[in-house]
Amino acid sequence: MEAEFDLITIGAGSAGVAASRRAAALGARVAIVEAGRVGGTCVLRGCVPKKLLMYAAGLHDAFAEAPGYGWTLEPPRFEMARWAQAKAAETARLEAVYRRMLEGAGVEIVAGRAQLEDPNTVRIGDRRLRARHIVVATGASPARDTIPGIEACATSDELLDLQALPRRAAIVGGGYIAVEFASHLARLGVAVEMFYRDRLPLRGFDEMLRTGAAAALAAAGITLHPGNAPREVQRTGDGFLLVAADERARDFEWVLNATGRRPNTEGLPLELDERGALRVDARLQTSWPGVYAVGDVTDRRNLTPVAIAEGRAVAEMLFGGGATLPDLERVASAVFMLPPLATVGPSEAEALAAGLTVEVYETEFRPMRQAFVGGEERTRMKLLVGSADQRVLALHMLGADAPEIVQSLAVALTAGARKQDFDRTLALHPTAAEEFVLMRAPSRVVGPETQT
């Protein structure tokens, strides 16, 4: 049985849904194929449930601060099963919303695993679909074979479905997934140890953010093992034996595999790049003419807003007479640990590597909420300004509300704001965000001429 469409989208995550809805709005007949639930990683297994867990963990800090603000509380107790039940209800609600949006746009939802037969044909079981164009939006999944034995360990997918928390856990990895869940679990009563290869977590982020994140994790009671990535994980009768680079074997009740994610390309007869992602050209076309790829399956900037923007842009390009693909040079991102951090633009090291001379503005302080109750949590901020034209190139922040503040200021960077635009903006007091417009003198100037 064959059916004819203008567009077939493979994968109903953020990128696939965005491409399908925009194409349908432009008059295309669209089918979207999904082997699992509609909504993808962000809605079902990533951004949304992760942030709901962050909110739960953040209440630990609020309870601890409450007596300093005059409150008397009964000892609080967290129940993972209650949270998991509420999370499941919320993700089910969001999945239903996504289905309604697709159906309302006239997109046909086809359940099953797609097989790409040729540039115009997709097979799902006994059904064959044909279309003028195909968009692959299959996303990415946790890597489960990075260390011998780690395939037996939980990933972020399983963590978010736990009904009870372990008393003691190891987290393998130092990226944003490892950092976020270590921060959350520690506040929910788990004794956490982190094992990672580098000297600091969050490789690729600005040094200020990395050192601040490590300090915040340690302050939360997390034991850090930098430069001590596990060599092997062994399953025992009631837990795991983790053999680290220092040759010590440590017992843990539970281990989280946070060693990275890989594009979902299995079974796709398309050319892969050196990272194992689908190779695409400047128009996001794969090695097959008329077949495009968007989102995490291309492993470029693995962020939901990027995936959505790419999906919409391809739909506009195919059915709307042209489109501009998103600029990936200045994309805001966040790590939802506690306290959270956010960034937009290059790190200081990246600016130096690009041969830029930049003025570095920095500040660090104890926010009012912490100072009032004798807390020690610190907020850190950094601005990078091009010396030649005074354009603000980047800003980085670790502290309460960092993602909200950086998202707002990203508009200014996209618009090409210069340091004098920040200087002439009156502060909103008392806020943490005002510090970004109050940093008057650079702490240092760095560039090729300052390097020896």
Annotated catalytic residue 429? yes
Which has the closest alpha carbon to 345: 209, 170, 149? Answer: 209
Helix (H, G, I), strand (E, B) or coil at 261: strand
Q: φ and ψ at 207, to 5 degrees?
A: -55, -40
Q: DSSP states of 286-344 as a string? A: -SSTTEEE-GGGG-SS--HHHHHHHHHHHHHHHHSS--PPPP-SS--EEE-SSS-EEEE
Check residue 139 and give left, alpha or beta (phi > 0: left; psi -120 to 50: alpha): left
The Cα–Cα gap between 411 and 413 comes to 5
Contacts 24+ apart (CB under 8 A), 155-159: 155/256, 155/257, 155/258, 156/45, 156/46, 156/50, 156/181, 156/256, 156/258, 157/45, 159/256
DSSP lists the bridge partners of residue 292 as 135, 285
**32 near 114, Cβ under 8 Å?**
no
Residue whose structure tokens are 């670790």: 398
3-state helix, strand, coil in the chain (%, to 5): 35, 25, 40
The Cα–Cα gap between 399 and 216 comes to 10
- Kindly give the pairing relationship between strand 223-226 and strand 341-344: unpaired
Catalytic site residue from 60, 133, 184, 429 = 429
Return the half-sphere exposure (C-beta side, CA atoms, 13 A cut-off) of residue 5: 29
315: Cβ contacts below 8 Å, ≥ 6 apart? 7, 18, 19, 20, 22, 23, 26, 28, 135, 323
**DSSP of 174-239:** -SHHHHHHHHHHHHTT-EEEEEESSSSSSTTS-HHHHHHHHHHHHHTTPEEEET--EEEEEE-SSS
Q: Give the residue numbers annotated as catalytic, written as ranges.
A: 429
